[in-house]
Amino acid sequence: MSAASPGQNEHYLTVFRRHFRTWRGDRPFWAGLFVLLGGFPIAYFPYANLQLGHLTLAMSTTAGAGSLIIGVLLVVLGVSLWFQKHVRTFAGVAAILLALVSIPVSNLGGFLIGFLFAMIGGAMAVSWVPGEPAEEQRPAPAPRSEAPEPVSDVPAPHGDASDPLSKGEASESAAAGPAAANGVGEPNDLSGTSPSNGANGRQSAG
């Protein structure tokens, strides 16, 4: 019996939420939502009528067409931030400018509701940057164990030419040979010049 693959038995709402979370994280979702919401009150209030009992209060202004254009542009910019994230800087700056223009044109920017939504969304769009992928942590290589060099217990021969100590002893013995031959230990010195004899060589011979 084969093991069930991950996500096979999950509810479709769980799968949808996971995919939606991934899609939302790759774009300035909240910036687009705020800009989109800011366009509705700016476009709606100039054409709305407020009923107070038998009194009808019309909130439309002479710039009603301008309010509608600003609202529609903000909605388009909000949707563009969702599906065209590379225009986030342009869309953010345009949303901020349209929010400022809506103050004198559209009833103080839709009674400051649409103005605040558009300003916050535009600022979020300008400051949004895509996230960097997490770097994979590679395991550190294990330290190499260096085996000690084998030491031989057999002593080198005394006369080995490769031993520098043997060379030094041989040179010292070679230098000390002539000195020992001409030193005090000569018994056959007949020249009469040796101070150890204490007498002339001829007298010794006689």
For 164-202, what is each residue's pLDDT tens digit? 545 555 555 555 555 444 444 445 544 455 554 544 444
The stretch 12-41 carries a mean pLDDT of 91
Domain segments of the chain as ranges: 28-127
| Span 93-145, pLDDT tens digits | 999 999 999 998 888 888 899 999 999 999 999 999 887 766 655 666 666 66
- What integer pLDDT is reported at residue 107 of this predicted model? 81
The whole-number pLDDT of residue 108 equals: 84
pLDDT at position 153, please? 57
Distance CA 80, CA 35 (A): 10
Q: How far apart are CA 25 and CA 121, in angstroms?
A: 16
Indicate the pLDDT class of residue 206, thresholds 50, 70 and 90: very low
pLDDT band at 89 (very low <50, low <70, confident <90, very high): very high
Rounded to whole angstroms, the Cα distance separating 36 from 109 reads 14
Give the per-residue pLDDT at 111.
86
Say how far residue 192 (Cα) sits from the centre of its chain.
95
pTM, entire model = 0.58
SS3 label, residue 16: helix
Q: Which residue has the higher pLDDT, 60 or 199?
A: 60
- Percent above pLDDT 70 for the chain: 56
For the residues 41-70, what does the mean pLDDT come to?
Answer: 78
H-helix or E-strand spanning residue 46:
none
pLDDT in tens, 43-56: 888 887 777 777 77
